[in-house]
Every structure is written in structure tokens, then in C-alpha cells.
Structure 1
């Protein structure tokens, strides 16, 4: 806050810094605090303890899985539990080999380098990374044409933690250079309830168990979505001066177009288009995307994985087809099914 004459005005810079600090506080700082991914946590703990006992940098780690499951948080935990500094970067930011060379040459001994969306790095940078991961060395080209020369440059030993939502796009030579690959799975409702209860405590929000279970059932198996929905429930309870009860959760999430299965506005638009306009399908991806006014990539990578996972949509060689569960969920009669005959 700062004084502007007779008014006291909020300082947006201070408020944004506080918000960022709070977001950071929501992330667990250790594997013991991290909820879910039990198998991955055990594997990481063994890897990090072995590295500490041998006084060496940990093997390179690849974290693969859908968005919002904790890949960035696990990278931070790797650095924290290794007692090493952390350097953050992303694949889209590394579009030239020189970008990667600048990052690698400035690393401190033992530093943890986290590259988010690593599959989106430039191909020239990927090829430079091969040598860096294996031999802690990079080759820098000086000059052009016939007079160009390669100068080898040693870099400090480091641990690379790569995160990807599409591991199939990683070239095999890069994938094979990771000493450990972790595949993160969606959370079950019991794990999500623990995540929500922890976040509610940090928000100083008094919420009952039924309300927590209601949110857990609507957040698509993803902690990031669970925390986001919880904050909308907090806002609703605050503005309406009411308790964060099950009824408040239902009212808040209805306001934000999140139904009892976690479907949002776009999910329902896609499903209603398939069901009503195309009689349940099959319908091609591009046609479906145009019908709902979205990019085909958005429908394919954001909407479809969840709809397929919950059994409302299937992919066939001819296109997308609604399942029997989809007709039942939206309360629409399947016009393609013939009524059972009473005749013998």
C-alpha cells in the first residue's frame, strides 16, 4: 500500500510479488511433503540418496506426463534435496544452439538444470545437448564456411531434469541419455483430497470433508486444477459471506461451468456437437474443431484426452464417436440405436 494524497492505494507490484510468493509456498519442498506419485517418489529418493552417498551429481532425469501433475515441483524438489542450485529454462526459449551454450557454460558445479517442455527445443540445441549430457562438454563453432572451426569447451558437471507432456516427440538419442525416466500418472480422489486439504490450510479456509470430496471429484485427476477450483470456491465463500460447504462448492463450480464430472464449457461444447450435430459420430477432428470454433490442436491435445479417459469419446479410423456413457451423461436419446423389439 502507498499514500496518494488523502487516498491509500494498493501497490500492484507488492501485491503481485506476494501472489508469486504464495504460489511458490503451495509447492511441496521435499519428497516427504509431495502427495501422490508414490512409485516415482520412491525411485527419485533412491536415485538422490545414491548420488549423495557417492558424492556425485545425480543422473539426468526425464519427467513425462500430462500438465499439472507436478513435474516442475519435482524438479525443484530434486534440487532442494540434493542441496544444489536450480536453473530454470524451457524448450521454446532455446531456439538456437547458442542459447543452450550460454546456459550450459554458466552452470555451477552440480547445478540442476530444469528444461520444461524439452521436446520443443530446436534440433540444433538437442544435438549439442547429447554431448553435454554424456561428457560434460560442448563444441562451439567459430567462423563460417570452409574456415569454420570447432572449439571444445568443458562445462561443469550438472543434472538435467527435463519435463515433457509429449514424450513421443523426443528423439530417441535424447531420450536414451536420461538415466531415469518417470511417468507421472493422474491422481485418484483420495490423493486429491489430501492435496486440497493441504492447500485449504495454507489459504486459511475452513472447508468440510464433503466439500473437499466434491472438489476432488471434479478436478480431472489433476492437482493444479484442484487448487484452482479450491481458490474459486474460496472466492465464492468470501464474496457471499458463506461457509465453504458442499452446497457452496456446487454453486461456485456451476457458476464457473464445471459439472459433476469435471467437464467445462469447451468439453461440453465438443460433446454436444458430436451428439446433436453429428448424431454421435463419427466426425473428423478438423470438422469438429471448426464446429466449436477452436483450433484442431486445442481439441486434440486439451479436450480429447480427458473425454477419452473418462469414457465419453472414442477415436476411430473414421473419426470421433460418442460412447453410450456420453448419451447417458447428457440425457440425450441415441437416435442411432433401434428400440428393442417385442416380437418373437
Structure 2
């Protein structure tokens, strides 16, 4: 574990206890799902049309960052169809035989949720093409010249695939999904509704101001909002009267080092190093990671996406560059030679390779 420990504002689910709590807080029907209005409306049409025709709905692909509700929507799809939900993940499908074993046991109309579908093994991926299109798989028996492919019919099913890296999915797999929905980050007003709902389920007394404060620091992610709510609840119960007010929420989140923009210690360490040690950049990813004692992948995948979305950091062909907003957020005065002032918009290429 890094010196920054487990991140309270990390988008991924943590231990089994948190997963149990998350399951209890998930909405069970599409009408109760907050946010993602366009995806929700489109998905509602797909499901209702299939129910009226008495047919299995098209396969569904959900993309977006962790914690935005992809798993919840998969559970809702099964509930709306009145069908069981089978859950597995891409990393768990290591061989084509693993996928064949799952598919062959599906009942007609059942919903299969395949999380992190982009991480599925290539042989299994190729088998999935035929299963999605023709509801059939070829099981290979034997090895070498004597191997025989035995066709196996499977019951019509609906696949719900979820991915945080839609660009890593091969075209033939993407084309087999009849509906694709991209999950956007939530606005504070939507997160405030989610916090209020979760507070009722957790039997937490919370004021409107307290809910708004938690929502504003949740990085546009419901999972983080629910996690912050539980930590603020703990603070209110131990150091307050049990009610989450604006003052209680601010004090609790200050204790957990989540600032008013949702940045935590790692985020501020990356920005602070970029500003104080490198004058705002440009600096390569590897150098920046070493300066904060982290792996380059951690900085690139965990910290940078949110910093870029908040307008604090820009990726350029020459390296990472801090924006004027980053200097202002940390209360620092940029030197006259600070970068970005003369950088044209077309130079801010987020996909460019930076020097190490």
C-alpha cells in the first residue's frame, strides 16, 4: 500500500462489508434510479418494447467510470424483466471453456452481467460473438488434429456488459450490442438527492445543507457520495449529536482530508509537487510519480482523470502542466514563467505520450 493508504474518494468498491452496504442502498427499479436521464429513458424503451413483444431484449453495453451505477442498472434490468441475474467478470473468464460453462447453464430470458468485459480472454471473447448473435457455442473436445468442435445451443439470454475502458473493446464485440449507454458523472443536485435517499435508508438525520456539502465533495460519483455519508455519519455520532449538519459535514470531511472540491491527499500531493517542485511543469509522468512516491500508473489512472476534469491539470506532448486554477486552489502565486499562458488549445492533447 502507498503512503496515502486507501482512498476515501476512490471510485472502486472496497471490501465485502462496503459491498453489502452498497447493495442495500441500490435502487431496485428504473423509476427510482437518480441521474443518467438519457440512458434511463432509452433503456426503459428497450425493456418495455421487449416485454410487449415477449422477446429477449437486445444485449446492453454500459460504459463509464467506476461507481456511476453500471452494476445497479444491470440489477435493475433483471428486475424490470422479472428474470434472474447471473454475475461474473472479465478477469474470471480465463478460457473459452469458462464462458461455455456459464452460458450453458443459463435459463431462457436470464440476464448475464459481465463486469469489466474488456478484460476477458481473447478465446472467450471470440466464443461470445457467436453466443450473442446465434445463441450457440462450439465446444472443442480433444486436442491436436483429433479435436472436434461440437455445436451447443444455448437459451436466448440478455448480456449486460460493463466497462470502464470502452475503447479497449474490439469492434466486432461492440457491434453485437443492440444498446450502448455511456454513464456520465453526476451533477451536485443529483448527488444531493442520492445522499438524502441513502440517509433515509441508513436512518441518518441530515439537513439539506449537510447533504449538499457531502454531495459537492463526491467527485460526481454516487459510490463516493455514499461512502462520504457513512464517514460523516460516524463523525456526527461520535463527536456530535448524531445529526449531519453543514458544520458537522465540513468538520468530518476536513478530518478525512477531503477538501471542498473533492481532492484528497494524493490529488493535492500531485498538484503540490507539480507546482512547488517543477514550477507548474511541463514534467513527465514518471518524474511526477517519483516525486510523490507513487507508481506512474497510480498517478495516471487514479489521480489525473479527476484533476483534468476539474481543470487543474493539462496533459500536453511535453508533459503535465498545471493550470491557473491549480495555483489558485492551493493558494499559491504562479511565477511569471508559469506554463500554459501561451499554450494553444490544440497543444493540450490528453492522449499524447509524455517524456518520463
TM over 0.5: yes
- Counterpart position of 1:315: 315
The superposition leaves residues 242-273 of structure 1 with CA deviations (integer Å, 9 ceiling, x where unpaired) of 33111111111011110000001110111011
The superposition leaves residues 14-70 of structure 1 with CA deviations (integer Å, 9 ceiling, x where unpaired) of xx9997654322000001000000111100100000100111111000000011110
Which whole-Å CA distance do the structure 1 matches of 2:185 and 2:122 have between them? Answer: 30
Which whole-Å CA distance do the structure 1 matches of 2:337 and 2:19 have between them? Answer: 53
- Superposed counterparts of 1:31-42, under 5 Å: 31-42=30-41
Answer yes or no: is the 8 Å Cα contact 2:111–2:160 preserved in 1. yes
- Counterpart position of 2:231: 232
- Counterpart position of 1:137: 136
Q: Which runs of no fewer than 5 residues in structure 2 stay unpaired? A: 1-14, 339-356
Answer yes or no: is the 8 Å Cα contact 1:279–1:336 preserved in 2. no
Answer yes or no: is the 8 Å Cα contact 2:240–2:248 preserved in 1. no
Which whole-Å CA distance do the structure 1 matches of 2:78 and 2:139 have between them? Answer: 28
Which whole-Å CA distance do the structure 2 matches of 1:310 and 1:21 have between them? Answer: 31
Answer yes or no: is the 8 Å Cα contact 2:308–2:314 preserved in 1. yes
Answer yes or no: is the 8 Å Cα contact 2:217–2:258 preserved in 1. yes
The superposition leaves residues 265-309 of structure 1 with CA deviations (integer Å, 9 ceiling, x where unpaired) of 110111011111111011111111222122222211121110000
- Superposed counterparts of 1:1-344, under 5 Å: 22-242=21-241, 243-337=243-337
| TM-score (norm. length: structure 2) | 0.88
Deviates more, 1:22-31 or 1:51-60: 22-31
Answer yes or no: is the 8 Å Cα contact 1:30–1:77 preserved in 2. yes
Answer yes or no: is the 8 Å Cα contact 1:233–1:244 preserved in 2. yes
Q: Aligned pair count? A: 323
Answer yes or no: is the 8 Å Cα contact 1:200–1:206 preserved in 2. yes
| TM-score (norm. length: structure 1) | 0.91
Structure 1 residue 241: Cα displacement: 3.2
- Larger RCO: Structure 1 or Structure 2 (Cα < 8 Å, ≥ 6 residues apart)? 2
Which whole-Å CA distance do the structure 1 matches of 2:180 and 2:72 have between them? Answer: 16
Root-mean-square deviation (CA, aligned residues, Å) is 1.5
The superposition leaves residues 43-99 of structure 1 with CA deviations (integer Å, 9 ceiling, x where unpaired) of 010000010011111100000001111000000000000001100001111111111
Structure 1 residue 126: Cα displacement: 0.5
Larger radius of gyration: 1
Q: Which runs of 4+ in 1 moved over 4 A?
A: 16-22
